[in-house]
């Protein structure tokens, strides 16, 4: 994404102060249901006997704990949420935003921290009870079945895929020895792509019987029994002329 993006420091320059508010999950869920305009509620900031009081009250239509529009009368999300405000203390907290178009920018510094708490009433308690029940449900469930499931595995004389495999084998037929030169050509072109091959892979590629192929390989190649590329065949040095990748690139550019 962004490599070394210059951070837009306009936010801090203006000393924009923001509030960091911790909001309960259910409330944020309700907020997600808000309309396009995005209005979710109102904040009232008041001074009551010298103390600053902040309250948030949720919009009426968002109080329903169901889909919007559906008046589910059973449960209502509480409406009033007083904020508990804290100062930031010594800690500096800044807010930076990341966007695909504009890059990274510093939006501002946090001046107050707040927690959004609902007013505790019966309604809230019911809501909480519901939530607890939900979360207490185990993710996995063992369930006893009355009848055995008979739809999945049936005994079969020969499995489908097995049948197909045998048919394929039959159709391909036995591998016939091709001309030596032809096989050599195939091998060389294969070794151009990769350096090390397993004998099985070579058989696959060339469609030649193993003994014949081994014979040819013994002629032009060596077998690695140890080392990094174990049990693989590779061409003898005189037959190969690999170039390293860089050299190839250079050759291409020049």
Partner 1 sequence: MTSLGSSSSSTTEYIVRVPKNTSKKYNIMAFNAGDRVSCSTWTQARMERDMSARRIYGEEETPEGAAGSEFGKKQREEARRKKFGIVTREFKAEDQPWILKVNGKAGKRFKGLKKGGVTENASYYIFTQCPDGAFEAFPVHGWYNFTPQAKHRTLTAEEAEEEWGRRNKVVNHFSIMLQRRLREQERGEDEEDEGEKSGKKKKKGGGARGGDLRIHDLEDELEMSSDDSDSSMGEDGESKTKAKKDTGKGKAKKKKRKSNESEALEDSDDGDYEGLEVDYMSDESSSDEEPEKGKPSKGEDLPKGIDEASESEEESEEEKQNDEEAKEEEEEEEGKKTPVQMEKKKKKDSSGESDSSDDSDIEGETASALFMKKRTPPKRGGGRGSAGSSRTGSRPGTPSIDSASTSNTLRAAASKLEQGKRQTQGPATDSPAAKRLKMETSSQSPVPSGKSTPQPPSGKSTPSSSDVQLTEEAVRRYLIRKPMTTKDLLKKFQTKRTGLSSEQTVNVLAQILKRLNPERKNVNDKMHFYLTE
- The footprint of partner 1 on residues 7-26 (CB under 8 A) is 7, 9, 12-13, 15-16, 18-25
CA–CA separation, 79 vs 215, rounded Å? Answer: 85
Question: Do residues 30 and 62 make contact, with C-beta atoms less than 8 angstroms apart?
Answer: yes
Q: Is 138 in the site for partner 1 (CB under 8 A)?
A: no
Q: Is 229 in the site for partner 1 (CB under 8 A)?
A: yes
Options 6, 70, 122, 238; binder of partner 1; rule CB under 8 A: 6
* Contacts by residues 47-51 (CB-CB < 8 Å, ≥ 24 positions apart): none
Q: Is 231 in the site for partner 1 (CB under 8 A)?
A: no
Q: Is 104 in the site for partner 1 (CB under 8 A)?
A: yes
Half-sphere exposure of 19 (CA within 13 A, CB side): 13
CB of 145 to partner 1, least distance (A): 29
Q: Is 60 in the site for partner 1 (CB under 8 A)?
A: no
Closer residue to partner 1 (CB): 75 or 203: 203
| Of 124-132, 138-146, 150-158, 195-203: span binding partner 1 (CB under 8 A) | 195-203
How many other C-beta atoms can be found within 10 angstroms of the C-beta atom of residue 191? 20
DSSP-derived letter for residue 8 is B
Q: Is 85 in the site for partner 1 (CB under 8 A)?
A: no
For 30, 146, 177, 196, the CA distances from 247, given in Å and listed in that order, are 62, 70, 38, 20
# residues near partner 1 by CB under 8 A: 76
Options 76, 117, 201, 203; binder of partner 1; rule CB under 8 A: 201
Closer residue to partner 1 (CB): 43 or 163: 43
Q: Is 129 in the site for partner 1 (CB under 8 A)?
A: no
Q: Is 225 in the site for partner 1 (CB under 8 A)?
A: no
Location of structure tokens 């909480």: 128
Options 84, 86, 87, 94; binder of partner 1; rule CB under 8 A: 94
Structure tokens at 230: 């174990």
CB of 161 to partner 1, least distance (A): 19
Q: Is 67 in the site for partner 1 (CB under 8 A)?
A: no
Beta carbons within 8 Å of 177's beta carbon, 6+ residues apart: 208, 209, 212
CA–CA separation, 165 vs 65, rounded Å? Answer: 57
């Amino acid at each position: 994404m962004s490599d070394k993006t210059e951070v837009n420091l306009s936010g801090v320059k203006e000393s924009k102060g923001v509030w960091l508010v911790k909001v309960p999950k259910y409330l944020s869920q309700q907020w997600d249901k808000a309309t396009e305009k995005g209005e979710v509620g109102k904040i009232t900031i008041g001074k009551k006997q010298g103390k600053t009081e902040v309250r948030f009250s949720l919009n009426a239509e968002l109080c329903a704990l169901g889909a919007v529009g559906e008046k589910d009368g059973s449960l209502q999300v509480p409406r009033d949420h007083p904020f508990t405000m804290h100062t930031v203390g010594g800690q500096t907290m800044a807010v930076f935003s990341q966007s695909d178009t504009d890059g990274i920018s510093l939006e501002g510094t946090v001046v107050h921290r707040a927690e959004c708490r609902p007013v505790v009433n019966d309604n809230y308690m019911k809501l909480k009870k519901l939530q607890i029940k939900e979360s207490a449900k185990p993710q996995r469930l063992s369930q006893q079945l009355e009848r055995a499931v008979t739809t999945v595995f049936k005994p079969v004389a020969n499995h489908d895929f097995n049948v197909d495999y045998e048919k394929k084998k039959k159709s391909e037929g036995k591998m016939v020895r091709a001309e030596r030169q032809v096989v050599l050509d195939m091998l060389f072109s294969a070794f151009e792509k990769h350096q090390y091959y397993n004998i099985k892979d070579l058989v696959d590629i060339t469609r030649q019987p193993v003994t014949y192929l081994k014979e040819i390989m013994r002629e032009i190649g060596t077998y690695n029994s140890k080392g990094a590329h174990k049990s693989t065949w590779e061409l003898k040095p005189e037959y190969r002329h690999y170039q390293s990748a860089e050299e190839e690139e250079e050759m291409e550019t020049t």
